[in-house]
Amino acid sequence: MDIHLVILAAGKGTRMKSARPKVLHRIAGQPLIEHVLACAATIHPRSTTIVIGHQAGDLTAALAGHHGLTYVVQEPQLGTAHALMTTEPALAGRSGTLLLLSGDVPMLTPATLQTLVNTHETAGAAATVVTAIVENPHGYGRIVRTGEQIARIVEQKDASPEERQIREINSGIYAFAIEGLFDAVRSIAAENAQKEYYLPDLVAIYRQRGAIVETVTVSNADEILGINTRVELAAVSRIVRDRKTAELMADGVTIEDPATAYVDTGVTVGADTILHPGVSLEGRTIIGRGCEIHSGARICDAHIGDRVIVLNHCVIMNATVADDACIGPFAHLRAESDVRANARVGNFVELKKTVLGAGSKANHLAYLGDATIGEKVNIGAGTITCNYDGVSKSQTVIEDGAFVGSDSQLIAPVTIGKGAYVGSGSTIRENVPAGALAVSAGKQRNLDGWVARKKKNKSGK
């Protein structure tokens, strides 16, 4: 049967107390709704419709990278049943199964989604509800059963004291037969504590008509945790990160303190790499085998080779580091930096759009921006590429085997030829030919006996 996906994401998210739409808050580096879309993609829906509310523009902008999404604006937001009704025109003429997901329930697994579809279609149900049995059901709709059968769902605010004891909850995730669905939803009334149109009321309506309503109860209730508050956001983040670190450890990564390793879902790490406490690996970062990443490192959208050592407190953003290189401590690799094999970037060194060739070293206190640096080059402490003249950026080229003495300024555009030397403290404004020595610092004068004369003058006064 065709599967059509609807994701509800129009709610105000009042309890988040945020200027940002709730479903754009992030877990493990990804907005909540991206987690939902990633799970839903595994069942290959024929169509995907997202119900959005105010700040609709923020949401569509955030999802601009996805193709084939249909947006429906629900304004005002009168409840989950009302939200589903707004998709009726978008789904006109469709048949099959409608899968309804919540944008604020991000941990659902593809396996559960598949079970939901299978159970629903095998039973020929009008509706199938995903439920869970939880320790603390507070805030969720409760599943009221008569015998084995689900009879209705009652919201927290409308539940009697006895009903509040029920620990089986509604996940807000459903499968519906599209045929007759919208007519049935239209008959839902807003007669409840919140004066909203509750989609869960559909269960009682279908059951009274004698239609088949099924349930799928997940064994791990974590899967269907909904996020309504910042506390819940943090709790779910914790669970998602624990899952990720457990996966990495199963694949041969040593994580010294999983509680403080922040590894986004999209990150890959090779076997025998060691993550020390307090590392942050973000976005699409790829880390090779046998690396060692020390505390305080933040690595984002970077590509790190094998056996690389990243010492404490480095920031590596959108950069590449090849095999056997060593970075830090306190190094900053900015966008499009490319550190080649065996190279060494040390303390307080910043790279931007710079290639540091194989075996080259910039060990201390340097700024290397818009530079192409060859192999086995030595960059002395305090070297600065002056790449910006206040109007435009220019390139510095340092060829293989060159030696740049400490405290030199290389005023771009400029080229230091192969094997050339730059004397310490030079300001280099012109190209240095291969094999030459360039010195620009003034000649040194020594004034013999100057200190003694100065002291004598002072005491004489």
> If DSSP codes are grouped into helix, strand and coil, which group holds residue 149?
strand
14 Cβ partners below 8 Å, 6+ apart? none
Q: Assign 80 to helix, strand or coil.
A: helix
Edge-to-edge strand list for the sheet holding 414-416: 268-269, 286-287, 303-304, 320-321, 338-339, 355-356, 371-373, 396-398, 414-416
Q: Which stretch binds ligand UD1 (CB under 6 A): 98-106, 120-128, 307-315, 342-350?
A: 98-106
Residue 83, interface with ligand UD1 (CB under 6 A)? yes
Q: Is residue 226 close enough to count as binding ligand UD1 by CB under 6 A? A: yes
Find the shortest distance in angstroms from Cβ 193 to Ca ion.
Answer: 16
Query: If binding means CB under 5 A, how many residues of this protein chain bind Ca ion?
Result: 3
Question: Read out DSSP for 166-220?
Answer: --EEEEEEEEEESTTHHHHHHT----STT----TTHHHHHHHHTT--EEEEEES-
Give 199 or 279: the residue with its C-beta nearer to Ca ion.
199
CB 441 within 8 A of CB 428: no
One of 39, 126, 140, 203 touching ligand UD1 (CB under 6 A): 140
104 lines the binding site for ligand UD1 (CB under 6 A): yes
Give me the least distance between CB of 119 and ligand UD1, in Å please.
19
Encode 369-435 in three state secondary structure. Answer: ECEEECCCCEECCCCEEECECCCCECCEEECCCCEECCCCEEECCEEECCCCEECCCCEECCCECCC
Site for ligand UD1 contains 106 (CB under 6 A): no
Which residue among the candidates 54, 303, 313, 364 is catalytic per the annotation? 364
Per-residue binding string, Ca ion, 99-128, x by CB under 5 A, is -----x------------------------
Minimum CB distance to Ca ion smaller for 226 or for 380: 226
Q: Is 369 in the site for ligand UD1 (CB under 6 A)?
A: no
Nearer to Ca ion, 8 or 333 (CB): 8
Q: What are the b/e assignments for 73-84, b being 16+ CB within 10 Å?
A: ebeebbbbbbbb
User: Among residues 357, 379, 302, which one has the least CA distance to residue 334?
Assistant: 302
Q: Name the residue with tokens 């595994």.
A: 42
* The entry of Ca ion, ligand UD1, none that residue 281 binds, CB within 5 to 8 Å by partner kind: none
Task: Assess whether 294 carries a catalytic annotation.
Answer: no
Distance CA 391, CA 161 (A): 71
Query: Rounded to whole angstroms, how far apart are CA atoms 205 and 10?
Result: 24
Type of residue at 12: K
357 interacts with ligand UD1 by CB under 6 A:
no
Contact range with ligand UD1 by CB under 6 A, out of 5-13, 293-301, 311-319, 330-338: 5-13
Per the DSSP assignment, residues forming a β-bridge with 51 are 8, 72
Strands 254-255 and 274-275: parallel
Interface with ligand UD1, residue 128, by CB under 6 A: no
Q: Taking the complex as a whole, how short is the minimal distance between the CB of residue 25 and Ca ion, in angstroms?
A: 13
Burial per residue of 282-305, b for 16 or more beta-carbon CB atoms within 10 angstroms, e otherwise: bbebbbbbbbbbbbbbbbbbbbbb
For residue 140, the minimal CB distance to ligand UD1 (Å) is: 4
Binding mask 13-52 for ligand UD1 (x = CB under 6 A): --------------------------------------x-
C-beta of residue 407 within 8 angstroms of C-beta of residue 422: no
Among 119, 228, 347, 440, binds ligand UD1 (CB under 6 A): 228
User: According to the binding rule CB under 5 A, does residue 417 interact with Ca ion?
Assistant: no
Query: Segment contacting ligand UD1 (CB under 6 A): 193-201, 205-213, 281-289, 440-448?
Result: 193-201
Q: How far is the CB of 110 from ligand UD1 (least distance, A)?
A: 19
- Site membership for Ca ion, residue 226 (CB under 5 A): yes
Q: Is 105 in the site for ligand UD1 (CB under 6 A)?
A: yes
Is 133 a residue that touches ligand UD1 (CB under 6 A)? no
Interface pattern 143-182 for ligand UD1 (x via CB under 6 A): ----------x-x-------------xxxx----------
Which strand (E) or helix (H) includes residue 341?
Answer: none
Interacting residues with ligand UD1 (CB under 6 A)? 8-11, 51, 74, 77-80, 82-83, 102-105, 140-141, 153, 155, 169-172, 198-200, 226, 228
Residues marked as catalytic = 364
